[in-house]
Structures are given as structure tokens and as C-alpha cells.
Amino acid sequence: MISALAISLACAAGAPSAAVAAPDPETLKKRSQLYERIHLLTGLDWAEIAAIDQYERTLSRAHPKTRPIREDAVTGVYVRPEEWSGELNPDDQDTEPASIQFFRGIGRDGSGDRKADRSQDEDLLYSVAAEVLRYGSVKDDFAIGLWEYYQNTRAVQRIQQFAYLYRTFGRLDLSGNAFPLPLGSVYSFRSTWGNSRSWGGYRIHEGTDIFARHGVPVRSTVYGVVEIKGWNKYGGWRIGIRDINNLYHYYAHLSGFEKTVKAGDVVRPGQVIGYVGSSGYGKPGTSGKFPPHLHYGVYRDRGLVEWAFDPYPLLKRWEKEERKSLKAHR
């Protein structure tokens, strides 16, 4: 059996790929045009189309070997050849819509060239959208369609969260970041990834501790949806936020929450979500068993499980970028 330490170190080694670069304007333009074409074909809201595509993209990033995507691809969708052409189809490269339908493949012609081609962005995204829409386009039917296609409740939740983010901000680019504490506050941190922990059983430290005074504001580092808020015996008062790249941002040991923030809310970089404290390691309300600090962790969703990776490089980068931005605006 692989140890928890080995798994976590393996995840840490893959951390650079988890830090997703902001898409350039030309890429965003191409995606927007693709989503508009699929909207005209299906009637599905652009935000839901974008959310399906983004979820597929996050899976492809997490599993690049088993979900290879063309270098020039606009969409993030991946469909296995057998699923596309039909499991019993003798030709797994079939592009004829009629024979694909006969063998119950999902491949469809979205570009209008009378071929169902896995190398075409329109065909890929249209085929998945059409599968999801088999049960209808209203909210509950859309959720059922997502479940039937992905057979995964996490997929349903993620796509609905992504659509909510896109609708709220009305744009595709949700790539901004902020350091979790105000740069004007007194704080210190270093890489603490992998350090041992003994309270509650042997485990390793899956995050970075940022030490600061009690009550210092804690800010969202990303555009995201508040997925959970409340007590955890290890993390004390904690809040979890899911971003558009399917990364889960974990803020723990808080002294309390910003009262206006609740589970299901959308937040933006720099928005106050809570305050530094020393809660945790016990029943609800336990506090003071260690110096006040923010435990910040990041987890990447790989479809069925989430793996932590070392957030220290991200924190250093965000700190540097925010200092540079503040200096430029003085």
C-alpha cells in the first residue's frame, strides 16, 4: 500500500501543472465564438456550455496521459474513440453520423460538414452538450443529464458551480488572484508542506501556515464559490472555496467568519471571508492550542478524488504580484 506521505509528495511534485496560466485574449475570443455556435445549435445557455467545457478541461489537465487534447484545441472536451463511434463499432475512427448512431456512439456533427469528427471542436462540444440535453434543459433536467453522462455527483456540482461563476461575472476570464492576508499587515510564512502532525493520528501538513496577529482579515485568493463554511475538528472554523479551475482553497483555524459570506456565495480575489485565529484540534469552539495563524491549503479535483499540493509557490507568486501592482498604483 502506498503511504499517505508518498501520495502527498507525489502530488506536490505535480504542483506546477495545477497552477493554471490565464488564457490569452485570442483564446478567450475563440472559446466565446465556439460557445455561441453551440448555443445556437442547442439553445443551452452560454454559461452552462462554458461550464461543461471548463470541467472537461480541468479533467484533461489532471489526466493528460489518458485524456490527450490537441495542442490547437479550443475546447477541453475529451471523448474516448469507443464512446464516440460506439463500443461495438468495428471502426473506432468512424466519422459517419448514421453509422455512429447505429452503433449507439455519441459522436455528432456540430460543424455542419456532415461528419462527426473527434478532431473538430464544434463536433466534440456539441456531442457532449447534446448528450446532457437528452433529459431537458431546465435546471433539474440539466442536472439529471449531467449525472447520466458523467455518472458522478461531483461532476454535477462542479459544472453547476462553474456556470454560476460565469453568470455572476458575465465573462470567461476569472483568472485574478490575491494574497490571503492584507500586505499591510504583519505576517510571516515559509514552506511547511509535508511536516508531520500528531494530533488526531499521524498525518502530514498539507498546506502553508501564515502566522499573523489574531483578528487579521483573511481574504479570498480567487474568484470562486463558497463550498463549505463551519467547524472542522482539525481546522477549527474553516471555509472552503472552489475556483473555476476546479481547485479547492482551504482556509483554516479562523477566529470567525465575515458575517455577509455564506455557503453558496460567490467571492472575488481580495474579498474578506474571515479572520486569523487559533481555532481547532477539538470540539466546536476549541481555541488557543497553538499561536494564531492561517492554514492555507489547495486541492486539485481529479474527478473522483482530490489531491493536495504545496501552495507555497503560489503564495509567493501572489504576494510578489500584488506588491508590484500596489507599487505601480501609488
Give me the DSSP letters along 91-141. -TT---HHHHHHTT------SSSS---TT-HHHHHHHHHHHHGGG-SSHHH
Cα 93 from chain centre: 32
Q: What are the residue ranges of helices labelled H in the chain?
A: 4-13, 15-18, 25-42, 46-62, 81-85, 97-102, 121-132, 139-150, 153-169, 312-328
What's the rounded Cα separation, in Å, for the pair 87 and 77?
Answer: 19
Cα end-to-end span (Å), the chain: 55
Q: Report residue 10's pLDDT band, with 50, 70 and 90 as the boundaries.
A: very low
Average pLDDT value for the chain: 90
Q: Indicate the SS3 state at residue 274.
A: strand
- Which candidate, 230, 232, 219, places its Cα nearest to that of 264? 230
At 192, the pLDDT band (50, 70, 90 cuts) reads: confident
How far apart (Å, rounded) are the C-alpha atoms in residues 64 and 241?
A: 25
In angstroms, the CA 224 to CA 273 distance is: 12
Mean pLDDT within 12-16: 40
pLDDT of 231 > 60? The answer is: yes
Q: Sign of dihedral through CA atoms 313, 212, 237, 257?
A: negative
* Confidence band of 328 (pLDDT split at 50, 70, 90): confident
Q: What pLDDT is attached to residue 21? A: 79
Residue 245 zone, left/alpha/beta (φ > 0; ψ -120 to 50; rest): alpha
pLDDT at 152 over 80: yes
What does the pLDDT average to over 286-298?
95
> Can you give the C-alpha Rg of the chain in angstroms?
22
Render the burial of 238-256: b for 16+ CB within 10 Å, e for the rest: bbbbbbbbbbbbbbbbbbe
Nearest to 180, CA basis, from 98, 107, 76, 250: 250
Q: Tell which residue, 58, 4, 3, 19, has the closest CA to residue 310.
A: 19
- Span 284-311, mean pLDDT? 91
> Residues 81-116: pLDDT tens digits?
999 999 999 999 999 999 999 999 999 999 999 999
Among 299, 277, 278, which residue's Cα sits nearest to residue 227? 299
Q: Is residue 196 very low, low, confident or very high in pLDDT (cuts 50, 70, 90)?
A: low
Per-residue pLDDT, averaged over 52-59, amounts to 97
- Which residues make Cβ contacts (< 8 Å) with residue 300, sequence separation at least 6? 11, 18, 62, 246, 247, 248, 306, 307, 308, 309
